[in-house]
């Protein structure tokens, strides 16, 4: 409703628990001056970083996700998910995509998760670039307990796997690095889980150190970095 009632050239999406630095709008708008850019996201940080050991780790995770993953994707013109807490969109493109966005389905049922990743994919399919602006800082509240964090991660993982299927036809039109990155994002967690389970099974059944699983996990970490 807000998007349909808006009249400006740009639309800024902000989560209710997110605090923006005073210059975020100006810095994102500067990136959006290029008409080929459909969306741009800022750098996320945990506003409650100092609360627990978990919030400190999540803040580190956000830094890596923004300044390694998103920054690398932006180098090739296609950030694969402009995150919901702070993302700016070109309204003229957004209006054309709203019908697809509002009627998002998965396996024939209305979808209510991963809307930021889905909208980013729609922007890329429309032929527009998506960008990352590292000095546009947005601080958001992150889970401080393991249960809510795991539920959040499960929701995000479902979104990643689902929207990868939607993006498969898009990948050939993007730089080959993006294909490598998307494959790594989807296969990496599955191989990691399999390696951990295999290692635990070997230790439980044979009582031996699962060096093959340890080496696999170390190799995956090095490759990912």
Predicted confidence (pLDDT) per residue in 9-30, tens digit: 999 999 999 999 999 999 999 9
pLDDT of amino acid 47? 95
- The CA-to-CA distance between both ends of the chain, in Å, stands at 41
Predicted confidence (pLDDT) per residue in 114-170, tens digit: 788 889 999 999 999 999 999 999 999 999 999 999 999 888 888 888 888 778 888
Residue 12 makes CB contacts below 8 A (sequence gap 6+) with 25, 28, 86, 87, 88, 89
Predicted confidence (pLDDT) per residue in 179-224, tens digit: 888 888 878 778 888 888 988 998 888 888 888 888 888 888 887 7
Q: Strands 37-46 and 129-140: what pairing?
A: parallel
Q: What pTM value is reported for the model? A: 0.84
Domains of the chain, by residue range, sit at: 2-174, 176-224
Domain 2-174: CATH architecture, name and number where available: Alpha-Beta Complex (3.90)
Beta bridge partners of 18: 140
Question: C-alpha angle 141/144/150, rounded to 5°?
Answer: 100
Predicted confidence (pLDDT) per residue in 37-85, tens digit: 999 999 999 999 999 999 999 999 999 999 999 999 999 989 999 998 9
């Amino acid at each position: 409703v807000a998007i349909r009632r808006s009249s400006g050239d740009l639309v800024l999406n902000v989560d209710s628990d997110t605090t923006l630095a005073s210059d975020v709008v100006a810095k994102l708008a500067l990136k959006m001056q290029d008409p080929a850019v459909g969306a741009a996201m800022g750098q996320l940080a945990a506003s409650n970083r100092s609360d627990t050991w978990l919030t400190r780790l999540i803040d580190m995770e956000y830094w890596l996700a923004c300044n390694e993953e998103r920054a690398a994707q932006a180098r090739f013109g296609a950030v694969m998910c402009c995150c919901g807490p702070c993302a700016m969109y070109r309204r003229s493109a957004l209006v054309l995509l709203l019908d697809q966005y509002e009627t998002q389905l998965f396996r024939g049922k209305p979808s209510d998760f991963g809307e930021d990743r889905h909208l980013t994919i729609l922007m890329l399919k429309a032929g527009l670039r998506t960008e990352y602006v590292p000095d546009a800082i947005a601080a958001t509240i992150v889970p401080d307990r393991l249960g809510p964090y795991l539920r959040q991660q499960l929701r995000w993982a479902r979104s990643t796997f689902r929207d990868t299927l939607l993006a498969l036809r898009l990948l050939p039109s993007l730089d080959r690095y993006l294909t490598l990155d998307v494959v790594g994002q989807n296969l990496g967690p599955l191989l990691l889980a399999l390696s951990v389970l295999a290692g635990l099974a070997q230790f439980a059944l044979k009582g031996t150190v699962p060096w093959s699983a340890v080496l696999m996990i170390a190799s995956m970490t090095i490759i990912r970095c």
